Amino acid sequence: MRRFMLKYYKKLSKSIFIFIGKVGFCLVFVFSLHSGITIARQGQLKIDDRWVMKTGDNPDWAKTDFDDSAWKSIRVGESWEKTGYTEYDGYAWYRIRFVFPEKWNQSEEHGFLSLSLGFIDDVDVTYFNGEKVGSSGSMPPEFSTAYYIARKYRIPTTLIHWDKPNVIAVRVYDRRRDGGFYKGPYVIKEPEIDDILDLNFELKNSNGIYHHPDPLPVTLNVQSYSNTDYQMTFVCTLKSDRLDKDIIYATKRSSIHVNGKSNVTETLEFYPSGPGFYNIISALSNNNDETVKKSIMLGYDPENIKTELTRENDFEEFWEKRKQELAQVDPAFKMIKSDRSTDDVDVYLVEMCSYGNVRVKGWYTVPKKDGPHAAILSVPGYTSTMWPNVNRTNVATFALNPRGHGNSKDDIDPKGTEYMFLGFDPDHPEKYIYIGAYLDCIRAVDFLVSRPEIDKSRIGVEGVSQGGGLSFATAALDQRIKCCAPDIPWMGDWIGYLEAADWRHENYPVLIKMHPGLTFSDINRILSYMDTMNLADRIKCPLLMAVGLQDAVCPPRNSFATYNQVHSEKEYRIYPFSGHGVWRKHNDVKNKWMAKILNVEESGL
């Protein structure tokens, strides 16, 4: 999914799909007009070059007069891991010096300039000439990520040194995996209408989900940062979540007067015709045809969304035969002790044979204390690599890399081919890559059950995005799973997915070109066998699903298409302002839930 969904990840967050590995990172920036800063257009400075960096954390590094001449240069617009700081997590400061041209010091109409720092992973606190001008997320110990939020801050003109050096300091904490300033833009500019007015949605229900017969309320808060008065027209539109058709259900209007630096709130109510997810487009316009827009996805009775199953007539027979074929393959389990072991856990590289005699691998982490232990199967996001989870000390973890992922490429290596294009054969759906990947997960459960230190009655499965879909599928196909925790799950309701995302329009032509004679119907039929919606009614264990309400990569309607087919004990958590990355916020909730189900100490999970 990485390539054909890249634009969504860049819009909402960075590429995720991965659980393992960060601790924290901190940045400070100082910009220099004489060191690569350019005037991109009238009233705008580009600040995307000549940054310097030092790892560590010292508040003195935010000071304007600090000497950063010994610091190393670093590129922005990509994670620092890609610039040479491999696997580094923690704190750092970046500095760049810059000079504002005196000609900008001409108007105090608004009293500030606009600073854009793009997207930062995970948390930042931003200073200008030693004064805090903004922050996003929360630093430890009350950590909360904000990697999916575009940073736009206001620099008061009273803080600016005209025609003299200025310093912008941005303190960033990165907890896991990629970190830093991973996507721009990086500019300082004179304010425009969307800098002057902040639009924010306020939710009556904290999760953004509403239920019949109550209305679906849309409350918009308008905050002005200018001394200027504005008479604005507020237009709010209730639209379908479909991307393939522009379906408008209702439009409402009102007038809003913004008096100088004031805060105004306006509420409009809609009554949707039925269950679903609705895109709310809010726009404020003034008499100068300047418009500020903001949108939000809200849900209405999502538990009652009815989605027609797409099972082929041989669906049940198909999967029973595949499981029988897997059972006939000798797993030939092999464990190799790893030097990644710690004082609390032993780590092993596991090798095994799966469906079609394909070799797959994973990392098995087991507590050094006496068992028997509960176990969690962790499965990866799209084309990502799983690594040992050494932080879980009260439960064993098998971090599986299914075929074509991570270190499981001995027999199947995409080698530049889109992973999910592999094995499309209209006459042989059993050859499709995801059929094998699902069965790899079952083989991983076989491994856990084979281990004497594992309590076979306490095995759970978890995953994010693709891993969420793999989790659904594993719990559906293997009754040995006792709890299932899919986060922002993919691979459910393919027909609905083609309506709510651009995947079909971008990739069906590619597939057809790769396989002459392949039709849309052929593609949909193959996908139907691995559609988690078609498998979900087999799930018998407790289930906890997490959804990002603003997720354009795995739209919430597709997650609920699968969820609503589950008949076992189940619950969900909605993160209303999150896109494709709720696992960072949801991880503690999920771990507490799994600890209770698996009867283990939460502190070690």
**130 within 8 A of 200, measured Cβ to Cβ:** no
Question: What's the whole-model pTM score?
Answer: 0.82
Q: Which residue is catalytic, options 354, 551, 559, 586? A: 551
For CA atoms 454, 459, 464, 467, the dihedral sign is: positive
The span from the CA of 600 to the CA of 592, in Å, is 10
What DSSP element (H or E) covers 442? helix 433-450
Q: Which residue has better confidence, 195 or 11?
A: 195
DSSP per-residue letters across 169-219: EEEEE--SSS-EEEE---EEE---HHHHEEEEEE-SSTTSEE-TTS-EEEE
Compute the distance between CA of residue 27 and CA of residue 10 in angstroms, rounded to an integer.
Answer: 21
Q: Which CATH architecture has domain 315-604?
A: 3-Layer(aba) Sandwich (3.40)
Q: What pLDDT score does 107 carry?
A: 53
Task: Evaluate whether 54 touches 61 at the Cβ level (below 8 Å).
Answer: yes
Which two structure tokens, joined as six digits, stand for 229? 């008065």
Nearest to 488 by CA among 406, 387, 587: 587
Mean pLDDT of 344-351: 97
Residues 6+ apart with CB under 8 A from 102: 162, 163
* Whether residue 316 has pLDDT greater than 90: yes
Domain boundaries, the chain: 6-191, 196-304, 315-604
pLDDT band at 595 (very low <50, low <70, confident <90, very high): very high
Quick one: pLDDT at residue 10?
A: 36
| 182 to 92, 135, 179, 394: CA distances (angstroms) | 15, 17, 7, 35
Q: What is the average pLDDT across 577-584? A: 82
Res. 8: pLDDT tops 50: no
pLDDT over threshold 50, residue 295: yes
The whole-number pLDDT of residue 42 equals 53
Q: Which fold has domain 6-191?
A: Jelly Rolls (2.60.120)
**Looking at the predicted structure, is the pLDDT value of residue 488 above 80?**
yes
Is residue 119 a contact partner of residue 183, using CB atoms and an 8 Å limit? Answer: yes
pLDDT > 60? residue 379: yes
**pLDDT higher at 472 or 197:** 472
Given this model, what pLDDT does residue 141 score? 86
196-304 shares its CATH topology with 315-604: no
Q: Give the percent of the chain with pLDDT over 90.
A: 58
Mean pLDDT in residue range 343-368: 97
pLDDT at position 504 is 67
Question: What is the enclosing helix (H) or strand (E) of 400?
Answer: strand 396-401
* Spatial distance between the Cα atoms of 245 and 252, rounded to a whole number of angstroms: 20
Whether 304 and 325 have beta carbons less than 8 Å apart is answered as no
- Highest mean pLDDT (candidates 15-24, 110-119, 131-140, 293-302): 293-302
CA distance 279 to 271: 13
Pick the more confident residue, 6 or 149.
Answer: 149
b/e sequence 394-404, b meaning 16+ C-beta within 10 Å: bbbbbbbbbbb
Query: What class has domain 196-304?
Result: mainly beta
- 138-154 pLDDT, tens digit per residue, is 888 888 778 878 999 99
Region 281-291 average pLDDT: 84
384, 465, 559, 578: the active-site residue? 465
Question: Tell me, what's the pLDDT at 39?
Answer: 39
**What are the angstrom distances between the C-alpha of 135 and each of 126, 151, 152, 169, 515?**
6, 8, 9, 11, 50
Tokens found for residue 401: 């890399």
- Indicate if 551 belongs to the active site: yes
| Mean pLDDT over the full length of the chain | 87
Higher-scoring residue by pLDDT: 566, 76:
566
Active site (annotated) includes residue 163: no
> Which of the listed ranges 128-132, 245-249, 459-463 does the model predict with the highest average pLDDT?
459-463
Distance, in Å, from the CA atom of 45 to the CA atom of 43, rounded to the nearest integer, reads: 7
Q: Could you tell me which of 371, 384, 329, 285 has the C-alpha nearest to residue 20?
A: 384
Q: What are the Cα distances from residue 69, in Å, to 74, 165, 548?
A: 13, 15, 43
Question: In this prediction, what percent of the chain has a pLDDT beyond 70?
Answer: 91
Burial tier of 276 (Cβ tally within 10 Å: 0-12, 13-18, 19+): buried
Q: Is the CB of residue 145 less than 8 Å from the CB of residue 263?
A: no
Check whether 603 has a pLDDT greater than 50.
Answer: yes
Separation between Cα atoms, residue 240 and residue 499, nearest integer Å: 10
Residue 534 is predicted with a pLDDT of 98
What integer pLDDT is reported at residue 38 of this predicted model?
41
pLDDT band for 30, please (50, 70, 90 cuts). Answer: very low
Residue 178 pLDDT: 86
For residue 31, what pLDDT band results from cuts at 50, 70 and 90?
Answer: very low
So what's the pLDDT on residue 24? 38
pLDDT tens for 214-225 read 999 999 998 888
Q: Helix count (H) and strand count (E) of the chain? A: 11, 30
- What local confidence, expressed as pLDDT, does residue 147 receive? 83
